[in-house]
Structure 1
Amino acid sequence: MGRAYRTRIVVALLTLALIAYFILLGGRAIALIESGSAAGIALGIGVLLLPIIGVVLLFWELRFGWQTQRLGRQLAEQDRLPDDSDLPRRPSGRVERDAADAHFETVRERVEAAPQDWRGWYELAHAYDLAGDRKRARAAMRHAIDLERGRATTDGPDSA
Protein backbone atom coordinates (compact mmCIF):
# COMPACT_ATOMS: atom_id res chain seq x y z
CA MET A 1 0.00 0.00 0.00
CA GLY A 2 1.49 3.32 -1.09
CA ARG A 3 2.00 6.35 1.09
CA ALA A 4 -0.49 8.46 -0.89
CA TYR A 5 -3.14 5.77 -0.54
CA ARG A 6 -2.61 5.52 3.24
CA THR A 7 -2.78 9.30 3.52
CA ARG A 8 -6.10 9.33 1.69
CA ILE A 9 -7.49 6.66 4.01
CA VAL A 10 -6.39 8.62 7.09
CA VAL A 11 -7.88 11.86 5.71
CA ALA A 12 -11.15 10.08 4.89
CA LEU A 13 -11.37 8.52 8.37
CA LEU A 14 -10.58 11.80 10.12
CA THR A 15 -13.11 13.61 7.94
CA LEU A 16 -15.79 11.05 8.81
CA ALA A 17 -14.94 11.31 12.51
CA LEU A 18 -15.18 15.11 12.36
CA ILE A 19 -18.49 14.97 10.52
CA ALA A 20 -19.88 12.59 13.14
CA TYR A 21 -18.62 14.91 15.88
CA PHE A 22 -20.19 17.93 14.15
CA ILE A 23 -23.52 16.10 13.88
CA LEU A 24 -23.46 15.15 17.57
CA LEU A 25 -22.46 18.68 18.57
CA GLY A 26 -25.21 20.10 16.35
CA GLY A 27 -27.74 17.82 18.05
CA ARG A 28 -26.68 19.08 21.47
CA ALA A 29 -26.92 22.67 20.25
CA ILE A 30 -30.47 22.12 19.00
CA ALA A 31 -31.44 20.50 22.31
CA LEU A 32 -30.10 23.54 24.18
CA ILE A 33 -32.01 25.91 21.89
CA GLU A 34 -35.20 23.90 22.32
CA SER A 35 -34.90 24.18 26.11
CA GLY A 36 -36.49 27.60 25.78
CA SER A 37 -34.45 29.28 28.49
CA ALA A 38 -32.42 32.34 27.58
CA ALA A 39 -29.19 30.71 28.78
CA GLY A 40 -29.98 27.50 26.89
CA ILE A 41 -30.73 29.38 23.68
CA ALA A 42 -27.55 31.47 23.98
CA LEU A 43 -25.42 28.39 24.70
CA GLY A 44 -27.15 26.46 21.92
CA ILE A 45 -26.39 29.17 19.39
CA GLY A 46 -22.78 29.29 20.56
CA VAL A 47 -22.43 25.51 20.38
CA LEU A 48 -24.12 25.46 16.95
CA LEU A 49 -21.50 27.87 15.61
CA LEU A 50 -18.70 25.40 16.43
CA PRO A 51 -19.71 22.73 13.90
CA ILE A 52 -20.42 25.40 11.28
CA ILE A 53 -16.94 26.85 11.74
CA GLY A 54 -15.51 23.32 11.78
CA VAL A 55 -17.18 22.38 8.49
CA VAL A 56 -15.90 25.56 6.83
CA LEU A 57 -12.34 24.94 8.09
CA LEU A 58 -12.51 21.28 7.07
CA PHE A 59 -13.65 22.29 3.57
CA TRP A 60 -10.83 24.86 3.23
CA GLU A 61 -8.20 22.32 4.29
CA LEU A 62 -9.53 19.61 1.97
CA ARG A 63 -9.72 22.11 -0.88
CA PHE A 64 -6.12 23.19 -0.25
CA GLY A 65 -5.06 19.53 -0.33
CA TRP A 66 -6.92 18.87 -3.58
CA GLN A 67 -5.43 21.96 -5.22
CA THR A 68 -1.92 21.03 -4.06
CA GLN A 69 -2.42 17.52 -5.36
CA ARG A 70 -3.62 18.86 -8.71
CA LEU A 71 -0.47 20.97 -9.08
CA GLY A 72 1.65 17.98 -8.09
CA ARG A 73 0.00 15.87 -10.80
CA GLN A 74 0.70 18.58 -13.39
CA LEU A 75 4.35 18.70 -12.36
CA ALA A 76 4.60 14.91 -12.43
CA GLU A 77 3.21 14.89 -15.97
CA GLN A 78 5.87 17.45 -16.93
CA ASP A 79 8.54 15.45 -15.02
CA ARG A 80 9.23 18.56 -12.90
CA LEU A 81 8.39 17.44 -9.36
CA PRO A 82 10.90 18.76 -6.79
CA ASP A 83 13.66 16.20 -6.25
CA ASP A 84 15.39 16.09 -2.89
CA SER A 85 16.81 12.59 -3.24
CA ASP A 86 20.41 13.87 -3.41
CA LEU A 87 20.19 15.76 -0.10
CA PRO A 88 21.89 14.14 2.92
CA ARG A 89 19.48 12.74 5.50
CA ARG A 90 19.46 11.98 9.18
CA PRO A 91 18.79 8.42 10.37
CA SER A 92 15.15 9.51 10.85
CA GLY A 93 14.87 10.24 7.13
CA ARG A 94 14.61 14.02 7.49
CA VAL A 95 16.95 16.14 5.40
CA GLU A 96 19.89 17.52 7.36
CA ARG A 97 19.23 21.10 8.40
CA ASP A 98 22.27 22.68 6.70
CA ALA A 99 21.49 20.88 3.44
CA ALA A 100 17.83 21.91 3.62
CA ASP A 101 18.83 25.54 4.20
CA ALA A 102 21.28 25.51 1.28
CA HIS A 103 18.66 23.87 -0.95
CA PHE A 104 16.14 26.51 0.11
CA GLU A 105 18.51 29.34 -0.88
CA THR A 106 19.03 27.81 -4.33
CA VAL A 107 15.29 27.48 -4.88
CA ARG A 108 14.61 30.98 -3.52
CA GLU A 109 17.04 32.47 -6.03
CA ARG A 110 15.25 30.68 -8.89
CA VAL A 111 11.89 31.99 -7.68
CA GLU A 112 13.25 35.53 -7.45
CA ALA A 113 14.43 35.20 -11.07
CA ALA A 114 10.95 34.09 -12.24
CA PRO A 115 8.41 35.21 -9.60
CA GLN A 116 5.35 34.60 -11.79
CA ASP A 117 6.11 30.89 -12.41
CA TRP A 118 3.86 28.79 -10.20
CA ARG A 119 6.21 25.80 -10.60
CA GLY A 120 8.95 27.71 -8.79
CA TRP A 121 6.60 28.60 -5.96
CA TYR A 122 5.56 24.95 -5.66
CA GLU A 123 9.24 24.01 -5.37
CA LEU A 124 9.75 26.83 -2.87
CA ALA A 125 6.91 25.44 -0.76
CA HIS A 126 8.66 22.07 -0.85
CA ALA A 127 11.96 23.70 0.17
CA TYR A 128 10.27 25.51 3.07
CA ASP A 129 8.81 22.19 4.17
CA LEU A 130 12.23 20.52 4.05
CA ALA A 131 13.60 23.38 6.16
CA GLY A 132 10.79 22.82 8.70
CA ASP A 133 8.91 26.08 8.08
CA ARG A 134 5.37 24.76 7.56
CA LYS A 135 3.69 28.16 7.79
CA ARG A 136 5.72 29.64 4.94
CA ALA A 137 5.46 26.37 3.01
CA ARG A 138 1.67 26.66 3.05
CA ALA A 139 1.81 30.35 2.09
CA ALA A 140 4.12 29.60 -0.84
CA MET A 141 1.85 26.74 -1.96
CA ARG A 142 -1.21 29.00 -1.79
CA HIS A 143 0.66 31.50 -3.95
CA ALA A 144 1.57 28.73 -6.43
CA ILE A 145 -2.11 27.79 -6.62
CA ASP A 146 -3.11 31.42 -7.19
CA LEU A 147 -0.45 31.88 -9.87
CA GLU A 148 -1.50 28.71 -11.67
CA ARG A 149 -5.09 29.88 -11.67
CA GLY A 150 -4.14 33.39 -12.78
CA ARG A 151 -5.34 34.98 -9.55
CA ALA A 152 -2.05 36.21 -8.09
CA THR A 153 -1.42 39.95 -8.24
CA THR A 154 1.84 40.31 -6.28
CA ASP A 155 5.29 38.75 -6.13
CA GLY A 156 4.08 36.48 -3.37
CA PRO A 157 3.96 36.10 0.37
CA ASP A 158 6.89 37.95 1.91
CA SER A 159 8.37 38.19 -1.62
CA ALA A 160 10.18 34.86 -1.21
Structure 2
Amino acid sequence: MRMKAQHVVALLVVLLLVYAASLGEHGVLLVRDGRPVPVVLGVAVLLLPVVGIVLVAAELRFGRRVEALGRRLDAEGGLPADELPRRPSGRADRAAADQLYQRRRAEVEASPEDWRPWFRLAMAYDDAGDRTRARKAMRTAVALHAAHEPR
Protein backbone atom coordinates (compact mmCIF):
# COMPACT_ATOMS: atom_id res chain seq x y z
CA MET A 1 0.00 0.00 0.00
CA ARG A 2 2.87 2.37 0.76
CA MET A 3 4.22 2.21 -2.78
CA LYS A 4 0.78 3.04 -4.13
CA ALA A 5 0.62 6.16 -1.96
CA GLN A 6 4.10 7.16 -3.10
CA HIS A 7 3.02 6.78 -6.73
CA VAL A 8 -0.03 8.95 -6.14
CA VAL A 9 2.11 11.63 -4.48
CA ALA A 10 4.62 11.50 -7.37
CA LEU A 11 1.80 11.85 -9.90
CA LEU A 12 0.31 14.80 -8.01
CA VAL A 13 3.69 16.53 -7.81
CA VAL A 14 4.18 16.07 -11.57
CA LEU A 15 0.70 17.48 -12.20
CA LEU A 16 1.50 20.43 -9.92
CA LEU A 17 4.68 21.13 -11.89
CA VAL A 18 2.81 20.97 -15.22
CA TYR A 19 0.17 23.31 -13.82
CA ALA A 20 2.87 25.64 -12.48
CA ALA A 21 4.57 25.72 -15.89
CA SER A 22 1.27 26.53 -17.58
CA LEU A 23 0.54 29.30 -15.09
CA GLY A 24 4.07 30.59 -15.52
CA GLU A 25 3.60 30.81 -19.27
CA HIS A 26 0.38 32.79 -18.85
CA GLY A 27 2.02 35.03 -16.27
CA VAL A 28 4.90 35.85 -18.61
CA LEU A 29 2.42 36.70 -21.38
CA LEU A 30 0.58 39.06 -19.06
CA VAL A 31 3.80 40.75 -17.90
CA ARG A 32 4.95 41.19 -21.53
CA ASP A 33 1.73 43.06 -22.29
CA GLY A 34 3.29 46.11 -20.66
CA ARG A 35 0.11 47.76 -19.42
CA PRO A 36 -0.10 48.21 -15.63
CA VAL A 37 -3.11 45.99 -14.90
CA PRO A 38 -1.95 42.96 -16.94
CA VAL A 39 1.58 43.33 -15.52
CA VAL A 40 0.26 43.27 -11.94
CA LEU A 41 -1.95 40.28 -12.76
CA GLY A 42 1.00 38.58 -14.48
CA VAL A 43 3.20 39.00 -11.41
CA ALA A 44 0.41 37.57 -9.22
CA VAL A 45 -0.03 34.63 -11.60
CA LEU A 46 3.75 34.01 -11.51
CA LEU A 47 3.74 34.00 -7.70
CA LEU A 48 0.90 31.46 -7.36
CA PRO A 49 2.86 28.43 -8.58
CA VAL A 50 5.85 29.43 -6.45
CA VAL A 51 3.67 29.55 -3.34
CA GLY A 52 2.05 26.23 -4.30
CA ILE A 53 5.39 24.50 -4.82
CA VAL A 54 6.77 25.83 -1.53
CA LEU A 55 3.67 24.64 0.36
CA VAL A 56 3.72 21.20 -1.26
CA ALA A 57 7.44 20.83 -0.54
CA ALA A 58 6.85 21.74 3.12
CA GLU A 59 4.03 19.17 3.40
CA LEU A 60 6.15 16.47 1.78
CA ARG A 61 9.01 17.23 4.17
CA PHE A 62 6.59 17.08 7.11
CA GLY A 63 5.19 13.77 5.85
CA ARG A 64 8.67 12.23 5.57
CA ARG A 65 9.50 13.32 9.11
CA VAL A 66 6.25 11.92 10.51
CA GLU A 67 6.81 8.64 8.68
CA ALA A 68 10.35 8.40 10.07
CA LEU A 69 9.12 9.10 13.61
CA GLY A 70 6.39 6.49 13.20
CA ARG A 71 8.92 3.88 12.08
CA ARG A 72 11.18 4.74 15.02
CA LEU A 73 8.34 4.60 17.53
CA ASP A 74 7.25 1.27 16.07
CA ALA A 75 10.82 -0.10 16.33
CA GLU A 76 10.90 1.01 19.98
CA GLY A 77 7.61 -0.78 20.62
CA GLY A 78 5.84 2.48 21.46
CA LEU A 79 3.48 2.73 18.51
CA PRO A 80 -0.01 2.08 19.89
CA ALA A 81 -2.29 -0.47 18.29
CA ASP A 82 -5.72 0.64 17.10
CA GLU A 83 -7.66 -0.22 20.24
CA LEU A 84 -10.82 1.76 19.62
CA PRO A 85 -14.15 0.12 18.91
CA ARG A 86 -15.51 1.23 15.54
CA ARG A 87 -18.99 2.05 14.35
CA PRO A 88 -20.24 0.38 11.15
CA SER A 89 -19.10 3.49 9.26
CA GLY A 90 -15.52 2.87 10.40
CA ARG A 91 -15.40 5.91 12.64
CA ALA A 92 -14.18 5.45 16.19
CA ASP A 93 -16.69 5.26 19.01
CA ARG A 94 -16.76 8.79 20.41
CA ALA A 95 -16.76 7.84 24.11
CA ALA A 96 -13.85 5.44 23.65
CA ALA A 97 -11.95 8.04 21.60
CA ASP A 98 -12.47 10.60 24.38
CA GLN A 99 -11.11 8.16 26.98
CA LEU A 100 -8.08 7.42 24.80
CA TYR A 101 -7.53 11.13 24.31
CA GLN A 102 -7.56 11.69 28.09
CA ARG A 103 -4.92 8.97 28.58
CA ARG A 104 -2.72 10.37 25.81
CA ARG A 105 -3.11 13.91 27.15
CA ALA A 106 -1.98 12.72 30.60
CA GLU A 107 1.11 11.13 28.99
CA VAL A 108 1.97 14.47 27.37
CA GLU A 109 1.49 16.33 30.65
CA ALA A 110 3.77 13.84 32.41
CA SER A 111 6.50 14.20 29.79
CA PRO A 112 5.94 17.37 27.73
CA GLU A 113 9.46 17.48 26.25
CA ASP A 114 9.36 13.93 24.84
CA TRP A 115 8.16 13.66 21.24
CA ARG A 116 6.74 10.16 21.75
CA PRO A 117 3.68 11.12 23.86
CA TRP A 118 2.97 13.98 21.44
CA PHE A 119 3.05 11.51 18.52
CA ARG A 120 0.59 9.23 20.33
CA LEU A 121 -1.61 12.23 21.22
CA ALA A 122 -1.70 13.20 17.56
CA MET A 123 -2.86 9.68 16.72
CA ALA A 124 -5.59 9.93 19.38
CA TYR A 125 -6.77 13.24 17.94
CA ASP A 126 -6.81 11.67 14.49
CA ASP A 127 -8.82 8.70 15.78
CA ALA A 128 -11.32 11.16 17.26
CA GLY A 129 -11.58 12.91 13.87
CA ASP A 130 -9.93 16.14 15.01
CA ARG A 131 -7.47 16.58 12.14
CA THR A 132 -6.52 20.15 13.05
CA ARG A 133 -5.37 19.26 16.55
CA ALA A 134 -3.80 16.04 15.27
CA ARG A 135 -1.57 18.01 12.87
CA LYS A 136 -0.69 20.53 15.57
CA ALA A 137 0.30 17.77 18.02
CA MET A 138 2.28 15.99 15.29
CA ARG A 139 4.11 19.22 14.43
CA THR A 140 5.01 19.50 18.12
CA ALA A 141 6.31 15.91 18.07
CA VAL A 142 8.43 16.62 14.98
CA ALA A 143 9.80 19.86 16.49
CA LEU A 144 10.65 18.19 19.81
CA HIS A 145 12.40 15.34 18.03
CA ALA A 146 14.42 17.78 15.91
CA ALA A 147 15.35 19.84 18.98
CA HIS A 148 16.39 16.96 21.26
CA GLU A 149 17.62 14.15 19.05
CA PRO A 150 20.94 14.06 17.19
CA ARG A 151 20.58 13.62 13.45
Same structural fold, with TM-score higher than 0.5 when normalized by the shorter chain: yes
For residues 75-108 of structure 1, the C-alpha deviation after alignment (integer angstroms, 9 at most, x for no partner) is 1221221212x32111222211111111111111
- Whole-angstrom distance in 2 between the partners of 1:30 and 1:54: 17
Which residue matches 1:157? Answer: none
CA drift of 1:34 comes to 1.1
Pair 1:90-2:87 in alignment:
yes
Q: Alpha-carbon deviation of 1:13?
A: 1.4
Report what 1:35 is aligned to. 33
Percent of counterpart pairs with the same letter? Answer: 48
Matched ranges for 1:28-107 at <5 A: 28-84=26-82, 86-107=83-104
Q: In structure 2, what is the Cα distance between the partners aligned to 1:13 and 1:91?
A: 33
- TM-score for both structures, normalised by structure 2: 0.92
Match of residue 126, structure 1, among 120, 123, 126:
123
1:9: Cα distance to partner? 1.8
Normalized against structure 1, the TM-score is what?
0.87
Q: 1:135 is matched with which residue?
A: 132
- The structure in which a higher percent of residues are helix is 2
Q: How many residues align?
A: 148
After TM superposition, where is structure 1 displaced by more than 3 Å over at least 4 residues in a row?
none
What is the rounded CA distance, in whole Å, between the counterparts of 1:8 and 1:82 in structure 2? 24
List gaps (5 residues or longer) in structure 1. Answer: 152-160
Match of 1:155 in 2: none
**2:17 alignment counterpart:** 19
User: Considering only aligned residues, what root-mean-square deviation do their CA atoms show, in Å?
Assistant: 1.2
Residues 92 and 7 of structure 1: is their aligned pair in 2 closer, same or farther, counting only changes over 3 Å? farther
- Does residue 145 of the first structure (1) align with residue 142 of the second (2)? yes
Separation in 1 of the partners of 2:13 and 2:6?
10
